Structure formats: structure tokens, C-alpha cells
Amino acid sequence: MTKEIKKIKSGRTFLIIFSIIFIVITLFIFFIGKKLDTPPKVSAVEDIQVVNDFKYFIDFETDKYLGPNSLLTSTKALSGKQCGLIDKNGKYGPAVIIPVPTNDTSEISDIIVKFWLNPSTPGIDVAMAFSIVDQNNNQVHWEGYPVKGNSFAIDNWYSFTCRFKYPKEFINTTYSLKLYLMSNNKDYTPVYIDDVSVSLKENADNGSPRSKLIDFEESNDKRISSKYAKSGYYSTYAKGENGFSESVIIPFKDLDISNINSVSLSFNYLSETSDLNAVFVVSVCDSTSKDLLWQGIDLSKADFKEKVWETANGSILIPEEIAKPENSLKIYLWNRNENQVFLDDVYIVIKENSKTNDSVQPAFDLIGQKKFQPGANRPPYNSYVVNLQKADAESVVSLNKIFTRKSRILTGKFDESTGKDQIFYEESGKYNILYLENGSVVSKEVSFHPAISKDSRLFADKEFLFSINPVDGLICVHKYQANQNKFIETGRIKCSGVDKVIAVTANPDNSFSVFENDGNILTYALKSGSYAQVSGNKPVNPYQGNLKFLKADFFGINKEDVLLIYLEKSQDKYVLLTYNAGIKGWALSDKYKGNSVQSYDQLDFASDYSVIDYDKTGEKELLQLNKTKRFDLRIINFDIMTYNILFNVEFKGFPKKQNPKYYEVSKIICGDFSGDGCSEIIIFQDNISKVDWLTQKTEMYSFSK
Amino acid sequence: MFSCNGEKKAKIKTTDFSLTELNLLTNYPKDVLYMDYTGAMHGFVIPSASQTADGRFDFNFTVKNESETPKKLFYKIYYQNESYKFPDFDENDETKQNQFAHENFYGSWEDTDTYFKPCGEIAPGEEKQITDNFRIVGNPRNEDKYFFEGENDRWKRNPRVGDYSFMIVIIDEEGLNKVPENIKNIKLAENEMFASPFFYFLHGEGKSFDNCIVSFTDKFINIKASPDLGKGVYIDDYKFKNSEEPGYSDYFNCNCNNDEKLNEEAPVGQFIHYIDESSKFNNVPVISDFFDGSFTQEEYNWLRAFYKTEDRIAVLPQVAKKPCETIYSDTIDRKIVLKNPKCEYGEWKKQNVGMITRNGFTYGKFTVKAKLTELLNEDFVWNGITNAIWLIYQGGRGQNETGWNLRRPCKKKGYMKTYWGGREDERVERVAYSEIDFEILKTVPYCPSEKFPPVYDNYEARTNKVNAWNTQMPDDVDKDKKNIAVCCTNWDMACWEPKNFSAGCHTVTHNGKIYYAHRWEDCYRAVTTKHMAPDDDLFGSEYYYFQIDWQPDKIIWRIGPEKNKLYEVGYIDNTISAIPDNQMLLIITQEFHNTNWWPGSPYLQENIPFPAKDYVGEVYEITIE
């Protein structure tokens, strides 16, 4: 028994020992095997990727890949802030030195070098030199690519691409390849170099992260033509009135916008006829293609030859808040007449904030860009001079009166027979109409029949005057009867919420629309002898009633549109509405597509607006008075895409030093008071604090030349 | 006995022979001669072929053999400019040549290989008359440094204006052998140090020769220069970067162009400024008719306050792109007209304009009669223009020939190497750069230092508070509101050699008047004195005179309503500043400066609108004497 037990015990012990040994050996083999079976490190994969790339981009912003004593300058740059330079200080420009990255002769074929040059004279006589140097800096191979010509435009960037054969015997990591510009010009006139791309492979497409060339060669758009091409075989075109070329959208994520200040553009256009009227549009849009910033480069005033490719330039400042990777840059050509205009070879270059950390850039840099290209709704603006209309002392007193009372001042053609605008105002409970007669201001008292409440709020449109009684909520429609010197009531509209009314319009179909400050528009038409609401809509949603209303024939089509300028979520917005008799309501104007797109200078809610006709065309303009930054009085018109700030208004003829723009308080009324078809400005000027040399006054200035 | 103009000096008789008669200028009866600009691009010759029949000054002299044996005599003539020279001898030791006497303008016959000419053998008791001639030319020592590709560019060392002396040396054979080679041949020099024959014969060894007559006439002629301003304006294409662009020659006309005729004849060229990046400013985007009464002090203040950087236009002062557009030579009134062109929206420019003479001079009284554009308008606001009348060193042929027109070595610290370099610029023993300026603009005196800088009130861009943006000028500035600053500057390239060289304000007295000379710092390249004068006088009258009197040891600036009513407004001498000694050209410009160069100025260039009308200046007369 004991032996049996012992045998059994020793068998168990053996089994346990055997099992332990087995497990230990298995684990040992497992770990050894695991150790021996470690997969390649990720870094090795990276190495292979880097080696396979063999593309280098030298933007001269840092000294990476640059040889010692490389001459750099920040006086100009294709992209970024600085570039290389060759000048009188030496025959050679900055050297690009790249160690040969591989020993594998199958990895490197030809060297393809793309670079940009900017000459300071019409002549360039340089060579791009390619050399190979050994570890002791001995040159073992040399080849040159000459760039020579006498008709370059000074201070323009030109792109060159050259190919060098790379001798197989030097494909060894002990060598470095060296690229440098050398001057053959004895005068060593400065030549600037930037954005050098070097590829050791075929099919080099190693563009700069700060520049793009769009040549429309790979486009699938329908608006591509081979009739003309600045380079390659194709260009895009915009044909017919309001025709658009292919839109090219470049996501910001494809560009280096880390320190972006602006985008500089160079593009080539060709007009088949002499009546060029096109706009090169650059906009920044969000991921839903909604324009956040819009700018047009107007070519209608360009100096060009028919059927010849011309180059134009422009730039667009990119505010920090829209320089986001999710946004995109969009470019296209917008044609505005029956002509056909071609577009090709658009260069886009990211310009960065200056090295001096001077983040504020001037409105226009005539040093960087030799030729001025006005930006849409960006200063500097041209000026338009309005001249003081001389007035007798009595007229001056009369004009002053209308502003020194607190009543609402309305303009309209109340007495249609005169063909002039008149001013309606209240003074001490009495109503007056003021108008110009033989150059003098005449004021006459008028009355309402039936009389209106003293608390009535008044609005005007065309020959109509509307009074709103806040108590009974009635809107009364009045027309002036000159022979009776009275405003006769011609209708009544029962309306709820009259305290929100900001305007009443007389529509072409004899209906009336009431505009409320919350964005509601209610239209009333005569039904069975009384006015009843026939439609209502709310095209805008202003914040806390911040809505401004203007009505005029902004497009010169004998039809008045309504411009609403409002605040929505703290953003300035605007919309143009047109009256649709079919639905008896107001809808977005079909003459205007750029809803609420704001440019650098905005149609802001804070400004005061008036309607004018400064050039007697019948097409009305907007006069914007903004005193946020300074006294800015600007003439603005609209086209189908945007508003256009045409001029800054300057005053002329004022007495002594009393320029209206100096005053602390300014009030403006506009209208065609003289009846010549051209608007006048009546401007009241006063100060909050006493300024001896600026006395209170009201003057009339005319847009008439 | 002698018919020459000046006082005769030195000895005219030896024991063996005597000079019994000397007649100078026998073919030119006047004592003043204006340089003839015909062919002057190759160097002035005095007289020219049209000024005397043979294009030379004729003279004769009679020499008598007082001995009892035949004599072989020899003679040599020398002339020297006496108005603009250093003394021939050292002020402390008359037996030593003045250290700068070799710079004096003297010469002899043009061919420096003509040493002493023989008078021939003269019998005992015989009188012999010798007739000869000479003319005054540039590079009279035929110095190699003025040669270019084998050609003697005599224009590189033109004759100086002023009085000329004449010295004739008659010597016998024995004496001649004692005369050193470098006196016989004035071309010879050691390390560019020439031996002055005037020192040698009048004060040095030559003075004590026994058988040697030295006759010195201290003034035989006075030379002046006055270019005919109606003779045209020559255009040097290389000064224009765009000379190969279409339209470049749009404004060429018969009296302003780049042809060979004007290259030979025109005494004036169009001056093109060097514009560097430091001239950049952000200008208000406004175009104004500055003189129609609308541009007031208040308007300036308004623009200053309310136009921020983002509303402005970054510009550099511009230069003419199309030659002859902004300058013309009036052939009837014999004047040069300059105009800073007006500009239009989209073509904003503040364009510098100017003329430059084409014949260089060393030293002289440069007097300009001109009506340059007014600087202040009715409200005494400055239009941003600096009217400048200045001298600058002359360059060589084309753009690249240098080295022939260097200033004398600066022995203490050296000169700053470049005009444009910063304070860390390399210092070198010699430079070519020299400049002497009248710069007349609206700025403030820097000296005495307690007056600088003026304290201007802060302003704010507040549309609802006029007094916030319309601040008043400080009293110190306001009292000079009708005045402009006549700034007189010598560019000494910060050479520390003058014994009173210093930075800051340094007083210097001349003719009982104290001038405050100001230099920003030890390495600053120029020193300036200022004088405040009414704009109405200088540029509101029909014309005004401006004179830079550049002498070897001093510079005096004068202005006045008439040439005989000039008064001193600036003075700098070699005790405080190295006076240039190289050849310079006269420039007259109307230019837009960056007012950062003129700290404390009451009006800043960037707040002054672009011109709506041309600013016209007229130059009626230039004389150098």
C-alpha cells in the first residue's frame, strides 16, 4: 500500500514536473518566437515613403536646403514673405543644396526643377545651374539652363521649368545636388527667385502649398474651349449677359493658410470684341457653398486689345475669421453683356502677414502691385464732389427749421404736378410742405381732411402719405390736393400691431403693403369697398426689430424694389424684394442673386441710407452715411451679384472751413428738389459741444455737375 | 611795364638775365571769361576756339641777357586756381608744402612731356621776345586715374572757377638741371602726392636758385560758368529701368531726348532719384487741389485722425517713367521747368522731379535763381514737397566706372562705406560719396536740443467730438507757421577727422552769427544747420536766389531776393565736418520725402493728399563762380 501510494505520488510529481517544464518550454519558445517575429517598425515605412517621394519645395522662408550666405530679401515674394535674390553683390543667387537621398539608381531619373523669376528690368540673362558636389564640396557635374529674354514685364513673376539628366554614377548618398541661379548680365540687375520645386522623379506635380496654377487643361466642365488658350489647349469662357465661366473651387485645406493675409491673383483674359464688360470674381465660401466674402475685379475699364490675351491682377484680403480649412476659395468669370470672354492660367498665391508683425495692411499696396486694381467695396474709393447750392437767408432759415423739430421728415412727390420732390414735416402741431421754387425754399402749411390724430405716425411713398393712429390701429391713406392745400383721405386699412410698422408702400396694382420691423410684410387690397389683407410673408428675420427699409428703382427698369437692411444674429444682412402682382406679395428680386453677401465695407444696419439719382439715369442709387469710423458718405448701386460702392462723396463750396463732414451731428435728406432729375442732399450740421469755427447750419448740395 | 592784370611777385632779375616785359592775354582783353559749354562734355577748355582766335591765351615776354656771355635760357609757365585752393605752404612751416597743396588746380602746357621750352641762345646784352600761348584744361597733370580705356577724360577734373594766377619761370641750363623732374613734369607723382610748382618756386627750393627768374601774377583772369538752360535736356537711358518698354519715348522732343546732339550740347539732364524702401509711407487715399483754398489745417487734422492704415495706400515716392514728361528746357526764356505731376484716382503718385547739370566742378559759388513750387498754402499747411538745391559727386562713364572721383582719405575712423547703409556699415579710408544740400521743407529746428522734439497734442478719431481730432499745434511750432526750414547739410560720411567732430548740437560761429550744426549720432553721415524763413519770400515771390559757396575748408549757404542781397543761412567748416574735395554736379529737385527722415515735422507726408494739380518749379539761371 505504501509503495503503491508512493508510486502514485511519484507519478503525480513527475506529471506535475513534466507539465511545468512543458509549459515553461512552450512559453520560452513562444516568447523567443514572438521576439524573433517582430514586424518592421513603423518608422521604416515612413523612411520608404519619404525616399519614394523625392520632391522638395524651397520657398526661401527658412534656410532649409539653402546654402550658406544665401541672399534673401523681403522686398517681394511670390508666396510667403521673402524670396531669393541675385544682384550686384554677386554673380550667383542662393544655392539650394539637397543631399542625394538614395543609393538606388532606379529611384532617380531626371531632375525636374520648376522656379519663378521676377526681373527688375525687361531683360533677364541668367541660368539655372544644376551641379553635383561630393562630400568635400568638389563639383563633379554641372549643367545649366539658360533663361534669356528682353521683353519681360518688370516686377512680374514668371514660371520656368527645366529638366536635367542625373548621371547614374552620382546616385549615391555621399553626393549632394546643388541648384543655383547665376547671372550672365554684367550689370547684375536684380532678379528675384522664389518657390523652387525640385523633383527627382517623373511627373513632378509638386506645387507650392501657397500657390496654385489653374490652366483648365484637365477640366470636364462644359464651358471649356479650345478656340483660344493662353497655355496648353483649353481655356474656360463666360458667354452672354450674366454668363459665368467654370467655377474653380480650391479648398483652403489644400493651401497653407496658417499665416494668410491675402490672396493675390493673376489671370489672363481674352475678349473677342471691344465691348468687354466682365468681372473676375473671387469669393470665399463655406462648406455649403454660401459666399462669405465676395470680390469682383472689374474688367470693363481695362486697357486691352481684342482677341489678345491680357493679364490682370488683383488681391483679396482674407479676414482671420474666414481663414478656416473648411472654407474654400472660388473663382470664376462673370460676363455682363453679349460678348464672350475667355479665361486661362489663373495664378493664386497666398500672401502672408508681414514679418514685422504689422498685421494691419494698407487698403492697397502700390509697392507690391504696381498697377491699381480696385477691389469690390474696398477702399480706396474714387470721390464724387457735390456742390453747395447758394441759398438766400430766408431759405436757410426754412431749411434749418425742418431739422430743429422732432417730427418725422418725409420726402415724396406729393404735388405730382411739380415734378419735384417735396419735404413734408410737422412744426408745433402744424403740417408743412417745403419745396424749391425759383431757387428759393418755400414752405406752406397744409392740413389733413379729415384731421388726423396728433399722435399719428406718418409714412410716405410716391404721392401717398400714410398716417397710422396708434390708438385705433388704422392706417389712413392720403393724397395731396394742391388746389385745396390738403391731404385728403382716400382709404383706410385696419391693421394689427401698427407699432411695428416701419414702412407702407403703394403697389403697382393699387394694393398697399405694410412692412413691420419683425420682417413681416402684409399686403392689403381693396375688396368690396374696404382694404383686406390678401397676403403675408416674412422673408427676413431681423433681431429685435433692427430693420431698415428703402424703396427705389435700383436696377433702372421702371420698377421699384424694396431693400431691407437688417441685423440677424449680430450680422449685417440685406435683401432685395420685388412686388409680384400675381401673388400680391413681395418675393426675392430676380434682378439680384447675391443675397446678403457682404464685402469688406458692408451694407450695415448702423448706417443711414437715402435713395438718390446722382447721374440722372433713372437708375437709383443708395447714399450711405456711416459715422462709425469717420464721416463716410458713399454712393452705392446694385448689379445682379452685389452692391457696388461707387464713390465717396466730398463737399465743395462750403463757407470757410465748415466742411459738413467735420460736424458732430449730421442729418441728411435726399431728393430731386430742383426737379432736374438729379438728386440734392440737404444736410443739417451741428455740434454737441461748442466749436467756434463750426456753426450750426443746413445746406443743400447738388450732385449735378 | 607789365600789362597783366594782377600784381607781380617774385624775382624778375638775376645777375645774368632779366625779364623786361611780360604781356599776358594779348588776345583776350577782358579779365572775366565765362566757360564755353560747347564740347564741354569732354572737358572745358579755357579759352575755347570761339573765345580767342587761336583757342589759346597768347602771351609774350622779353628777356635780356645781362651777362657778357651768350646764354641759353629756358622757360616754363604754370597757372593755378587761386580762389579755391589750399595755401601752397604749411601754415606752421613755410618751407614745407601744405599737405593738401597737391589737390590745388594748377597746370602748364597740356602736354606734360613739354618740360621747359628753350628761349634760344641770347647774345650778351640782347633782348629777346618770346611769344607763346597756353590754355587751361581739365586734368592738367594728365593723371592716369582720369583716363578711361586710353582716353584722357579731362572732364573728370574740370578747371575750377574763380581767379587764376600765372607763373613763368625762366632759367639757365645749369639751373634747369637742378629742377626736379616732378616740377618739370607735373604729371609725376609719388603715391598720388604731387609736388606743387607754385610751392617749389615761390616758397621751396626753387626760390633760392641764382639764375632763375620767377614771375608770379596772382590774377590774370577770372573764370565763371553759367550753363544755358535753354540748350536742352539730355536723357541718359540707363537711368530709366523701363527704357525698353513701349511708350518710353512718348515725351521726347527736339529739346529733350537721348540723341547724340543733345548728349554733346545739353548742359542739363533729367535727374532720377534713388528710391529705397525706407521712403515708403501709407498715404491717405485722397487727391486734393492744395492751393485752391480747400485744404486747411483742419482738413489735414481730419485726414490724419480718421484714415487708419487699412484705409491708406502704401506707396514709395515715384520717379518719372517717361523721360521729358516732367521736365522741359524752354529755348525762348532759357529756363528749365520742372513739374511734379498731378494724379488721378487709381494712379496715385507723389513723383519726385529734378534736373542735374552734366558738367562737374570742384568748389565754387553755385548760385541758382529759381522759382520753385510754393510749399505752404493759404492756411500754412505744407504740400509735402522738399525743394532741394544740392551738389552730388559725379559718377563715371556709364554706371560702373568708379574710383576716379574719391574723396581724400579720412585718417580718423574712415568714412562710412555707403550712403544708404546703416550704422553698422563698414568704414573705409576713401569713398566717392559726397553731397552738399539745401533742403527746404516744413520741419522744425533740432537745435538747441531743448527745443526738440516739439510736443504735439494727442488726437483721437472721434466723429462726435471735433476737439478730439482737431488738435492745435504747440506754440513753438505755431510761431513758425509761415516759415519753412532751410536745411543746409554736408554729407561727410561720418569721418571723425575734424577736430570738433561730434554728435548732437554743436555751435559754430561765422561772421558773428551762431549756427547750430546737428548730427544725430557719431556714425551719422551728415551734419545740418537750419534757418527758418518765410515760404512767401522764398517761393511766393517771382524768383529767389540760393547759393552754395563751397570752399576747400568751409561751406556757406546763402539766400536772398537778389544776387546782391544774399544773406547767410548756413555755415559748416572743416573743424566740425569733412568738406568734400571731389568733383560734383548740381541738382535741383522738388521731391517728396518721408517725414520719418525729419522727426518732429508738424505735417507728416502720409497725411498729405496726392496732388490734384502739377507742382511747377522754374530754374532761370545757374552761375558757378
Assess A320–B contact: CB distance below 8 Å, yes or no.
Answer: no
Domain boundary pick from B199, B224, B249: B224
What is the SS3 assignment for B100? coil
| pLDDT tens digits for range B119-135 | 999 999 999 999 999 99
Q: What is the CATH number of the domain that holds A694?
A: 2.130.10
Q: B-side interface with A, Cβ within 8 Å?
A: 241-242, 244-245, 277, 280, 282, 285-287, 294, 296, 298-299, 302, 305-316, 345-348, 399-400, 461, 463-467, 470
On chain A, the residues whose CB falls within 8 A of the CB of B309 are: 360-362
Task: Please state, for a pLDDT cut of 90, what percent of chain B lies above it.
Answer: 83
Same domain, B311 and B342: yes
Same domain, A217 and A323: yes
- Asked whether residue A374 is assigned to any structural domain, the reply reads no
Same domain, B439 and B511: yes
- Asked whether residue A44 is assigned to any structural domain, the reply reads no
Mean pLDDT of A349-365: 70
Domain boundary pick from B172, B201, B224: B224
On chain A, the residues whose CB falls within 8 A of the CB of B378 are: none
| pLDDT tens digits for range A272-314 | 899 999 989 888 888 877 777 788 888 887 788 899 988 887 7
Q: Which residue from A366, A631, A688 is facing B313, i.e. has the nearest CB? A: A366
- Asked whether residue A9 is assigned to any structural domain, the reply reads no
DSSP state of A74: S
Res. A4: pLDDT tops 70:
no
DSSP element (H, E) containing B420: none
- List CB contacts of A414: < 8 A, sequence separation 6 or more: A422, A424, A433, A460, A463, A465, A480, A487
Same domain, A232 and A198: no
Domain boundary pick from A311, A336, A365: A365
Res. A48: pLDDT tops 70:
no
Quick check: B314 and A360 CB within 8 A?
A: no
Quick check: B310 and A630 CB within 8 A?
A: no
Res. B439: pLDDT tops 80:
yes
Grid coordinates standing for B604? Answer: 507728416
Quick check: B465 and A661 CB within 8 A?
A: no
Same domain, A535 and A434: yes
- Asked whether residue B183 is assigned to any structural domain, the reply reads yes
Mean pLDDT of A553-558: 94
DSSP element (H, E) containing A652: strand A643-652
Q: pLDDT value at position A221?
A: 86
Same domain, A516 and A534: yes
Same domain, A403 and A316: no
Assess A123–B contact: CB distance below 8 Å, yes or no.
Answer: yes
Q: Tell me how far apart the alpha carbons of residues B422 and B524 are, in angstroms, rounded to a whole number.
A: 9
| pLDDT tens digits for range B39-79 | 999 999 999 999 999 999 999 999 999 999 999 999 999 99
Give the pLDDT band of residue A37 (cuts 50, 70, 90): very low
Domain boundary pick from A332, A365, A398: A365
- Asked whether residue A372 is assigned to any structural domain, the reply reads no
Same domain, B451 and B581: yes
Q: Tell me how far apart the alpha carbons of residues A517 and B372 are, in angstroms, rounded to a whole number.
A: 62
- Asked whether residue B3 is assigned to any structural domain, the reply reads no
Residue in chain A nearest B239 by alpha carbon: A121
- List CB contacts of B571: < 8 A, sequence separation 6 or more: B488, B508, B510, B511, B513, B515, B529, B554, B555, B556, B557
Q: Are B55 and B135 in contact (CB under 8 A)?
A: yes
Quick check: A364 and B287 CB within 8 A?
A: no
Quick check: A688 and B311 CB within 8 A?
A: no
DSSP state of A154: T
| Mean of the per-residue pLDDT values of chain B | 93
Q: How many domains does chain B have?
A: 2
CA A180 to chain centroid, in Å, comes to: 39
Grid coordinates standing for B276? Answer: 529705397
Q: What is the CATH number of the domain that holds A323?
A: 2.60.120.260
Quick check: A652 and B294 CB within 8 A?
A: yes
Domain boundary pick from A314, A336, A365: A365
Q: What is the CATH number of the domain that holds B341?
A: 2.60.120.200
- Asked whether residue A593 is assigned to any structural domain, the reply reads yes
- Asked whether residue A18 is assigned to any structural domain, the reply reads no
Mean pLDDT of B364-368: 98
Please state whether the peptide bond connecting residue B448 to the residue before it is cis, i.e. omega within 30 degrees of 0: yes
Same domain, B220 and B307: no
Least confident of A113-122, A181-190, B130-139, B271-280: A181-190
Label residue A581 exposed, middle or buried (CB < 10 Å: 0-12, 13-18, 19+).
Answer: exposed
- Asked whether residue B369 is assigned to any structural domain, the reply reads yes
Q: pLDDT value at position A185?
A: 76
Quick check: A360 and B461 CB within 8 A?
A: no
Same domain, A263 and A287: yes
Nearest to A697 by CA among A646, A662, A672: A662
CA distance A68 to chain B (A): 21
Res. B606: pLDDT tops 90:
yes
| Mean of the per-residue pLDDT values of chain A | 85
On chain B, the residues whose CB falls within 8 A of the CB of A380 are: 285, 311-313, 345, 348
Q: pLDDT value at position A43?
A: 33
Q: pLDDT value at position B449?
A: 64
ipTM: 0.87
On chain A, the residues whose CB falls within 8 A of the CB of B282 are: 362
Same domain, B180 and B238: no
Higher pLDDT, A29 or B614: B614
DSSP element (H, E) containing B142: none
Domain span at residue A416? 383-702
- Asked whether residue B261 is assigned to any structural domain, the reply reads yes
Res. B590: pLDDT tops 90:
yes
Domain span at residue B539? 233-396+405-624
- Asked whether residue B1 is assigned to any structural domain, the reply reads no
Quick check: B314 and A688 CB within 8 A?
A: no
- Asked whether residue A27 is assigned to any structural domain, the reply reads no
- Biggest alpha carbon–alpha carbon distance for chain A: 147
Q: Which residue from A150, A629, A657 is facing B244, i.e. has the nearest CB? A: A150
Q: pLDDT value at position B31?
A: 94
Same domain, B246 and B291: yes
Residue in chain B nearest A365 by alpha carbon: B314
Same domain, A71 and A117: yes
Res. A40: pLDDT tops 50:
no
Higher pLDDT, A196 or B568: B568
Q: Among A367, A373, A377, pick the best mutation site for testing chain B contact (most B Cβ within 10 A).
A: A367
- Asked whether residue B85 is assigned to any structural domain, the reply reads yes
**Most confident segment among A206-210, A418-422, A502-506:** A502-506
Q: What length is written for chain B?
A: 625
Res. A32: pLDDT tops 90:
no
Q: pLDDT value at position B453?
A: 66
Q: How many domains does chain A have?
A: 3
Q: Which residue from A151, A187, A630 is facing B463, i.e. has the nearest CB? A: A630
Same domain, B100 and B238: no
Nearest to A515 by CA among A532, A531, A497: A497
Quick check: B465 and A688 CB within 8 A?
A: yes
Same domain, B127 and B195: yes
- Asked whether residue A12 is assigned to any structural domain, the reply reads no
Residue in chain A nearest B469 by alpha carbon: A662
Q: pLDDT value at position A159?
A: 77
Same domain, A219 and A194: no
Hey, what amino acid is at A134? Answer: D
CA A227 to chain centroid, in Å, comes to: 31
CA distance B154 to chain A (A): 26
Q: pLDDT value at position B586?
A: 98
Higher pLDDT, A25 or A673: A673
To the nearest 10°, report the CA torsion of A92, A97, A100, A101.
-150
Q: pLDDT value at position B619?
A: 98
Domain boundary pick from B170, B194, B224: B224
Same domain, B98 and B182: yes
Give the pLDDT band of residue B536 (cuts 50, 70, 90): very high
Q: Which residue from A362, A688, A691 is facing B314, i.e. has the nearest CB? A: A362
Quick check: A367 and B296 CB within 8 A?
A: no
Quick check: A691 and B306 CB within 8 A?
A: no
Q: Which residue from B285, B298, B346 is facing A657, i.e. has the nearest CB? A: B298
Mean pLDDT of A213-224: 86
Quick check: A363 and B310 CB within 8 A?
A: yes
Interior angle at CA B506, CA B502 and CA B507, nearest 5: 145
Same domain, A346 and A417: no
Assess A69–B contact: CB distance below 8 Å, yes or no.
Answer: no
Higher pLDDT, B179 or A82: B179
Question: If you search the block for the grid coordinates 582716353, which residue do you land on?
Answer: B151
Q: pLDDT value at position A27?
A: 67
Same domain, A247 and A338: yes
Same domain, A56 and A165: yes
Same domain, A113 and A217: no
Q: What is the CATH number of the domain that holds B191?
A: 2.60.40.10
| pLDDT tens digits for range A53-95 | 678 888 888 888 888 777 888 878 887 788 888 887 777 888 8
- Number of A to B CB contacts under 8 A, please give it: 110
| pLDDT tens digits for range A9-19 | 566 666 777 77
Grid coordinates standing for B50? Answer: 570761339
Residue in chain A nearest B346 by alpha carbon: A372
